[in-house]
Amino acid sequence: MTPVLIACSHGTSSLDGRAAISAVVEKVRHLLPHVAVHEAFVDVQQPEIDDVVRSTSPRPTVIVPLLLSTGFHTKVDIARAVTDAGPRATATVALGPHPLLADLLAARLHDAGLAPGDAVVLAAAGSSDPAASVDVAGMAGVLQDRIAAPVSVGFAAGAGVRIGEAVAIARANGARRVVAASYVLAPGFFADVIGRSGADLVTAPLAPDDAVAAVVVERYLNAVASVARAA
């Protein structure tokens, strides 16, 4: 029996954000035409992840977090849904860090006009969970391999340097311009915070680019293959 794929995102009150995430889910459905793909959320929107996982019973289910980093929602909300469902359900790691996302970020920076003398701040939502900072730092490292400009990290919330502070530091260190690389999936609260960070240029959120859907599909297929090997 082919496992169900549940694409679980945070949820947002932004209509543009909702449209961007739904577009990613539609792309995943197109890439996996023989897989039942459901959308679920951990906050703000319905249906909630626990309800969607229960609705797929007794079929095997793979939850792919539409989240860029490890954090509370992967470790608590999604983990709880998996535990409650028992051995038929599993969850993958978050979408980032991933080379395809680094390629997308680099392309967005190029399109924005990144030039010699500029500095980049990888602008992430942030979390109180230290694992999220580790994931974002990993993403910054992968991005650094793809561009000539120096890359630092800033967060909209949680632990770590705030985005506006990271922009100011890069500027004080002599950057001609500072470009905020939006490391968020969709328009919404955190994208707005990045837009107000004081950066000279701000790239668009990652969704609904095809690369995001490709990472979702990869996470799902790897999880299915892992379950098959363990059986």
CA proximity to 63, closest of 40, 43, 46: 40
Residue 69 has pLDDT above 80, yes or no: yes
CA distance 177 to 112: 12
Average pLDDT of the residues in 130-159: 95
Residue 128 has pLDDT above 90, yes or no: no
**Are 157 and 71 contained in the same domain?**
no
**Are 131 and 181 contained in the same domain?**
yes
Average pLDDT of the residues in 203-226: 97
**Are 154 and 180 contained in the same domain?**
yes
User: What is the pLDDT of the chain when averaged over all its residues?
Assistant: 95
**Of 28 and 127, the one with more pLDDT:** 28
* For the chain, percent of residues with pLDDT exceeding 90: 88
**Are 134 and 118 contained in the same domain?**
yes
Q: Between the CA of residue 20 and those of 15, 145, 216, what are the distances in Å?
A: 9, 28, 14
Handedness of CA 194, 195, 196, 198 (dihedral sign): positive
Place of tokens 């890439």: 31
User: What is the CATH number for 178?
Assistant: 3.40.50.1400
CA distance 128 to 134: 12
Q: Using an 8 Å Cβ cutoff, are 5 and 24 in contact? A: no
**Are 132 and 184 contained in the same domain?**
yes
Range of the domain at 180: 99-202
Average pLDDT of the residues in 57-81: 93
Instruction: Kindly write down the DSSP assignment for every residue of 110-164, as one continuous string.
Output: HHHT--TT-EEEEEE---SSHHHHHHHHHHHHHHHTT-SS-EEEEESSSSS-BHH
pTM over 0.85: yes
Q: Using an 8 Å Cβ cutoff, are 124 and 101 in contact? A: no
Residue 144 CA, chain-centre distance (Å), reads 18
CA distance 30 to 34: 9
β-partners of residue 64 are: 7
pLDDT digits (tens, 9 = 90+) for 75-122: 889 999 999 999 999 999 999 999 999 999 999 999 999 999 999 999
Average pLDDT of the residues in 123-130: 90
**Are 81 and 21 contained in the same domain?**
yes
**Are 109 and 181 contained in the same domain?**
yes
**Are 78 and 19 contained in the same domain?**
yes
Residue 145: other Cβ atoms inside 10 A: 10
- Of the chain, the end-to-end C-alpha distance in Å amounts to 13
Q: For position 227, what pLDDT does the model report?
A: 82
Task: State how many domains the chain has.
Answer: 2
β-partners of residue 111 are: none
Average pLDDT of the residues in 115-139: 94
Backbone phi and psi for residue 91, each to the nearest 5 degrees, phi listed first: -130, 145
DSSP category for residue 35: S
